[in-house]
Structure 1
Amino acid sequence: MRTTARAVTAISAAALLLIATATPALAAPPTIEKIPIEFTFEDDFLTAECGVDVTTTLSGFRIERGWLDGGGNVLSLATIRVAGTASSEFGSFKVMDVGADQLKVAPDGTLTLSIIGQVPFNFKGVLVVNADTGEVVKEPHFTGDEQLARACEVLTGA
């Protein structure tokens, strides 16, 4: 649920899309895939940050779309809506991971990744990164520390 995980997923999806669409079929319809997300795991991140054993359950979906625009640019858009509940023996804390990840491959090969929305324990807003260089073009409002402090209060019963 961290930004880097979403970024790697978006870049990987775009790389596959670039390979799949590097054919003369410019008029092909977009590819669309809905991926359900349902799992529970021992949350090493929150356990380490809060000092208590935490288990997190995620439920939702991710929809990935890919296509070529009129200029021949490869575009990828993934929307996500995942609810998470982190639980310890002292309480539960709910989070939402919602938004869109857009990857654009320009004719010159430049990759631009935009992550829009709310990423738990990280940020709200829009993060734009030059995926080739890692340069941050636009920064969102970072809210991770405040949200993490609130989660640890609930999860430790403080």
Structure 2
Amino acid sequence: MAAKLDPTDIPQVEASDLNRPMQMLIEKGQGLALLTGLSEHDLRELETSLWSDVQTDPDIRVAIALRLRALVDVFAARRLKDLLLARGFKVIPAAIAAASKERLNTRFGFNAQRLLLAIDAATAPKPQPVITMPAMQTAA
């Protein structure tokens, strides 16, 4: 019996599962795939490697592949690229964590604004505490 996959709501996956294809890209020298994008040939090659490397339920593997494709597609948005360039590599784990949990529709992809807000919140610089100095008294 074939499993039914709802294309309007792809199941959530663990962030560690979605991180595996990113690690595969880094090992192949394509660590900036979110910034530069991937060709269809590269995506298919990655999915083939993923299919043989990840030994889990086939439905989970399909969900991982679809979420990775959508993550690469959504990073074509200028504001996400700008965030990656401004904040550096800490955006990538935050993007993977957000993409593993955000709602995904195969036709429309991720909601770019929701993903941006989640990544922005996870990578925002921590406010520095304000150090107040006691008032200085002058000699009279």
Shorter-chain TM-score bucket reads: under 0.3
> How does the TM-score come out when normalised to structure 2?
0.25
Larger RCO: 1 or 2 (CA < 8 Å, sep 6+): 2
Higher strand share: 1
